[in-house]
Structure 1
Amino acid sequence: MKRHLLILLVVSIIAPFAANAQFEKLKDSVVQLYGIVMTADSLKGIPSVSVVVKGQNRGTVSNEQGVFSIVVMKGDQIEFTSVGYKAKLVDIPRDIEGNQYSMIQLLVIDAEYLPATIIKPRPTKEEFERDFVNISIPSDAIEIARQNNDESKRRILARALPSDGREASNMMLRNNASRYYYYGQTPPQNIFNPFAWAEFVNAWKRGDFKNK
């Protein structure tokens, strides 16, 4: 029992020193990284450059003058990316003295050379007039709205338009009312309804069932 108490006493005394040493080590590893990102050819500041700590999903962007600042750890890898420039990966040295580190990062323009395109005019005036008249011009917003207001187009859109909340709830209430009205008995069949047969015959004579 005394041995356990002695161990607990020793641990309670040593633990604060160990935690303090670990904190000092972590504090010494933190670095305030700041600098400027510039073009390699003209030494101009590049705005909106992504400065990301690789593998940690953490970073910042440079301002309008290309200046940036971010907190990193010694030994981290910093990736600089921007549209139109080649990405650059930089290692933060582990033997930095102090907790501040400045740098000037140059980015090289990433040029893409496309194959040459030769634009030739129409050989004759007649071919130009023919192609100009037959060219298909996409509809603008006003023309699309005019087409949607056509009666046949509105019918098609109305068939595909889903029911809103009020229509769906009314339909459900009507179906429930019809089901509850005939609850406990067999619903009537319109095949034996003379008025339904009379309406069917009149519709047949009018030609409502003919294919249009």
Structure 2
Amino acid sequence: MKRWLLWLPILAWAQEPTVYQLSGMVLSATTGEPIPYVSIRVGRTRRGTVSNADGFYSLPVLRGDTLIFSAVGYKRARFSVSDYLNAYTGDTTEGFIYAVHYLVEDTIELPAVKILSIRTPEELKTALLNIPLETQTQTVRDNVSPELIAYFMQNLPADPQERVKIAQQRYRDLYYERTLRPTYPILDPIAAYRLVRYLAEKARVKREKIYDYWRDD
């Protein structure tokens, strides 16, 4: 009887599936409304998916995976499959698990905008000319601040098409370096043949000129 009790955890572990099909909804933590087109990526891998217009998604995961949820206007969230399985109360023997995720809105405070009443193009031209140069420079500096650029780089979802274009460009550069690398003319047999013929023809013309000079008419 004791031997059977020792074997029960091993049998239970052997029956646990290695790949789970995780399906879930991504909702707003403030309104509870579905968030469409959320980027869902498995950390440190190229696997992932995007939620549909209703916030629904489904993808295969492993126990040790960590999912990263990112969407414009929301803070990035992480989801540990292992921790979720340890607290999961449903049946996992069939390999299907379900979850609901809530993303917190990320609010960015923008500076105040002054609206002017301009009726004619001449007034607009005058208003633009009266803007101090320092104000324009400061506006450009604020719009391209490193903090704002870093924020958008971290929160914007990855673009699969852009990654494909970068990979294709790298492949073209590698192909060019290996196969279309420019050659030296001195090592080109056709160029060497043309050079020899040119030198021989030049020497022949020179000999004919000398012979014509000393020949008696």
Q: TM-score range by the shorter chain?
A: 0.3 to 0.5
Relative to its length, the structure with more helix (as a share) is 2
TM-score by length of 1: 0.47
Please tell me whether Structure 1 or Structure 2 has the larger radius of gyration of its CA atoms. 1
